[in-house]
Amino acid sequence: MKDAKLSSLINILKKMGSAVLAYSGGVDSTLLLKAIQLSGIKALAVTAVSETMPKDDLLNAKKMAKEIGVEHKVIKTTELKNKNFLKNPANRCFYCKDELFGKLRKIADKEGYKFIIDGSNLDDVADWRPGRKAALKRGVMSPLIEAGLGKENIRKLSLRLKLPTWDKPSSPCLASRFPYGEEITGKALRQVAGAEKFLKSIGFIEFRVRHHGDLARIELRENDFKKLVLPGIRSAVIGKLKSLGYKFISLDLEAFRSGRMNEGLNKKIRFAEGNKARQA
């Protein structure tokens, strides 16, 4: 298979020689995992688990690493012990990623890997991504960005490479379901996880359950609205979410779109950070 950007990505990895990959099991990092396998470099894929990670994501990460044939390791992160993370400021992701990349740095240094890499793609540099600051601080490289690969390119390449993740919906950490400024707790994370697991079990594919204290705000694709309000489905969702501790359950009349919680941020802040990331 000849593709200029895929070839560029593989060459970038070959020049690195060895790397530790922050592996989430998502679309981006799975393409990078496959490129690592194609490059033949020494590599270790590391998946971090905590209460902020949906359990299915860990299972998928283990499965893909095994199928592709790259060595895989699972570690624990403890962002819930960080008061700055729990306060849920607009740069919350920095504290989570800083801990992750700090642990990956120790693994790389101890086990003799030259680089740490992540699955950030070209589209990320224009969005609000405080985690990019942590990556720059820890010297993390982003080969997908360097190869000029955005999300659309990544999905097309993943399909050509027959990766089952090519059409996988994005699955950001569960902390992204909280409005900035609302404290994150283990209990609230478990509520969100339980609610989303249930919605997935009854056939919904792309959605979010946003946590607003006693209120669960469900975001769905517009063509799923009718399904949710079917009497049997609606009553089941209400019953399950109330059993998890929510007092009020609402359907957001604006269709689901990723990054909704970032829309209230000051645009000047978001684009200033994006420019810094591009310049770096």
* DSSP class per residue in 216-279: EEEEE-GGGHHHHTSHHHHHHHHHHHHHTT-SEEEE-SSPP-TTGGGTTS-HHHHHHHHHHHHH
pLDDT band at 271 (very low <50, low <70, confident <90, very high): very low
What are the C-alpha distances in Å from 156 to residues 64, 150, 159, 220, 224? 18, 10, 5, 24, 25
pLDDT for residue 92 is more than 80:
yes
Write down the pLDDT at residue 261. 75
Mean pLDDT of 92-102: 95
132: pLDDT strictly greater than 90: no
| pLDDT at residue 81 is higher than 80 | yes
How far apart are alpha carbons 32 and 34 in whole angstroms?
5
Token pair in block for residue 9:
């990505």
Class at the top of the CATH hierarchy for domain 174-257: alpha beta
To the nearest 10°, the Cα dihedral for 120, 124, 125, 128? -120
Length of the chain: 280
Crossing angle, helix 186-201 and helix 55-68, to 10 degrees? 70
Average pLDDT score, the chain: 91
Look at residue 223 and tell me whether its pLDDT is greater than 70: yes
Superfamily of domain covering 4-167? HUPs (3.40.50.620)
pTM of the model: 0.87
Q: Residue 128: pLDDT above 80?
A: no
What is the Cα–Cα distance from 242 to 249, expressed in whole angstroms?
8
pLDDT of res. 32: 97
The residue with tokens 């060459």 is 11
pLDDT at 273: 42
The confidence band for 264, taking pLDDT boundaries of 50, 70 and 90, is low
At 276 the pLDDT is 42
With a cut of 60, say whether residue 277 has pLDDT above it.
no
Percent with pLDDT over 70 in the chain: 92
Closest residue by Cα to residue 206 from 230, 222, 194, 191: 222
Specify the long-range contacts of residues 227-235, CB closer than 8 Å, at least 24 apart. 227/203, 228/204, 233/202
- Range with the poorest average pLDDT among 98-112, 115-129, 130-144: 115-129
Sorted by where each begins, the domain ranges of the chain are 4-167, 174-257
Which pair of tokens denotes residue 54?
């949906």
The reported pLDDT for the residue numbered 275 is 43
Give residue-wise pLDDT tens across range 48-61: 999 999 888 999 99
Q: Which two tokens stand for residue 98?
A: 């800083």
